[in-house]
Amino acid sequence: MFKKILIANRGEIACRVIKTARRMGIQTVAVYSDADARAPFVQMADEAVHIGPAPAAQSYLIADKIIAACKQTGADAVHPGYGFLSERTSFAEALAAEGIEFIGPPVGAIAAMGDKIESKKLAKAAGVNVVPGFVGEIEDTEHAVRISSEIGYPVMMKASAGGGGKGMRLAYSEQDVREGFDAVKREGLNSFGDDRVFIEKFILNPRHIEIQILGDKHGNILYLNERECSIQRRHQKVVEEAPSPFVTPKMRKAMGEQCVALSRAVGYYSAGTVELIVSGADPTGESFYFLEMNTRLQVEHPVTEAITGIDLVEQMIRVAAGEKLEMTQDDVKIDGWAIENRVYAEDPYRGFLPSTGRLVRYQPPVEGWTDDGAENGRRGVNGVRVDDGVYEGGEVSMFYDPMIAKLVTWGATRDEAADKQIAALDTFEIEGLGHNIDFVSAIMQHPRFRSGELTTGFIAEEYPEGFHGAAASDETKVKIAAVAGFVATARADRSRRVDGQLATPLAPPSQWTVTIDKTAYEVEIDEDEVLVNGQSIDLAMEYTPGDRLIEAEVDGEVLGVRIEPTRGGFKLTTRGAIHKVGVLPTRLAPLSAHMIEKVAPDLSRFLICPMPGLLVSLNVAEGDKVEIGQPLAVIEAMKMENILRAEKSGTVKSVNAAAGQSLAVDATILELE
């Protein structure tokens, strides 16, 4: 067994590998950039080596620096995590040349599966179902248009070396191909050093199912069931679960056996994932097709660990050390259900714009997963596990992936796992930057999610006008009103205490008018009960002015409520929505109609940078006429390109930025007359 492992990665996956290595008695080495000098994974490792500036291209992507760190520390193996160098054949070959073990698959398998064009040819030869498309290199945009027309719209354009949702565009028309083809090439080149693109038919009502593969160097290959990863935004996975609510035992066996056949054809060992697209329109469940094989650990691996009890990182290490798998296919079971939500630094209330900055407050619902066995490790504490690599006071940098944490819940049933997600998300505290906690909570509550009727178009179909918070039932609003009345009473009780200055203490108001979404609720608070519109509410909670988060038991339901005082009330966040709550003593409520409402200024004639990022291109100049929806500029942030379009027609009055500039949030790019 290895004595010392270097983790050629950062963030939560570096923490994840360190925990398993520690449990196995193996020392660890972290490598870090300037941006990660104080990161948790650096503190957790036994040793740490600085490898360069913040940009990954100057640090984490330079193989020579990783190898030098191995030599400096005496590490005899490298775990690459995912992303960065994890699927670079040149990196695995360079390690082998230095006598350092690569904790991953053989070079031949990485090469075969890393090229999406060649991998489809291999999959077809191995008897795996393949999506119809053009298997070959595409010369230019005109060639892409011809191919797309021959295949038939809609089509998907993908960077050949892509992954993680980068370098992908869905095209419903020739115009979409013309607008998106060059962007796919650029993203492929910038993220993977390869600008080749291929095009394939887009399957209608598609579900994204993937099979977890695990093999050793002795020819044993198993499939560890499937994961459903259909809920995606911009081809980036948001919610993953295992098993899939769609896959039957017969379908699972057929998928698994095809994926094992493909793995065997390329001599695969270690952990890997075969991704499949499945037609949800086929009631037989037999229409599944090969997409790609990821020759590495997946971000969503914890849900597989939770239902199988198998530590995938441990198995990768043991396989790399030459050990045989101790399990057979018959030993792989499905125990319960697991769901993972990715908590991203993005603002769903502002079109999911990336958000960077300091984590002024960061308190996950439980501590990060422990490593003392399956029940308290792979399934977390009471079925709740948090994998993260950030800390309160630290920064989420524009240089890396926007994921803050992964929240994983396990339950005996799918509904139980989803309910645990909702409860845990209610108590997940993040302040200082935008995050998607409300959004994923809303998904967990959504009737369509609960029914299991999922497709990769779920988010676009269910939130066509963007996200504005989870819908709250009348019952939930009554509970919020009760909580708001209690909080208002507690705050009034404290503010009326002017120690030693009043002869007779003033009693706080006990009757409040609480306004939620323009609906008024009459709330009465006394020592024995709470009344909302005359209805008795069973409320048990504690609140001290200044508390950011409270847990209130309202009519038997526990609500985690985040509180932010505002002028004339509170901003209460619970169950996936922000509620602007107005609270006034009932005797003063009639006066609220006379308050002046502040109107926001009209900024529609300005093109404002919505996030910190690089201005990749500017498509107009001073004096140009523009139409609504016309692409004006492209901003790159957190490895993704974002097209900024005109909100109104007009003429460009002035241009305030140039391509190649790094822009701050709210910077003015141009102004219309």
Q: Catalytic residue positions?
A: 292
* Residue matched to tokens 């005899």: 76
**H-helix segments, 378-426:** 414-426
CA dihedral 93, 97, 103, 107 (to 10 degrees): 30
The letter for the amino acid at 288 is: F
Q: Which residues touch 81 (CB under 8 Å, ≥6 apart)? A: 7, 8, 9, 10, 13, 14, 17, 296, 297
What angle do the packed helices 89-97 and 63-73 form, to 10 degrees? Answer: 30
What is the distance of C-alpha 424 from the center of its chain? Answer: 16
Gyration radius from the chain CA atoms: 27
Q: Side-chain half-sphere of 589: how many Cα atoms within 13 Å?
A: 17
Q: Which residues of 562-592 are buried (b: 16+ CB within 10 A; e: fewer)?
A: bbeeeeebbebbbbbbbbebbbbebeebeee
Q: How far apart are CA 162 and CA 159, in angstroms?
A: 5
Query: Residue 326, class by beta-carbon neighbours within 10 Å (0-12 exposed, 13-18 middle, 19+ buried)?
Result: exposed
Q: Which residues touch 481 (CB under 8 Å, ≥6 apart)? A: 514, 516, 521, 523, 532, 581
Cis (ω within 30 of 0) for the bond into 243? yes
Q: How far apart are CA 188 and CA 197, in angstroms?
A: 8
Which H, E and C letters describe 143-195, residue by residue?
Answer: HHHHHHHHHCCCEEEEEEEEECCEEEEEECCHHHHHHHHHHHHHHHHHHHCCC
Q: How far apart are CA 215 and CA 328, in angstroms?
A: 11
**H-helix segments, 266-321:** 301-308, 312-320
CB atoms within 10 A of CB 384: 20
The first and second tokens of residue 523, run together, are 């709330």
DSSP 8-state code for residue 669:
E
The first and second tokens of residue 48, run together, are 């740490």
Q: Side-chain half-sphere of 572: how many Cα atoms within 13 Å?
A: 32
* Residue matched to tokens 């990161």: 39
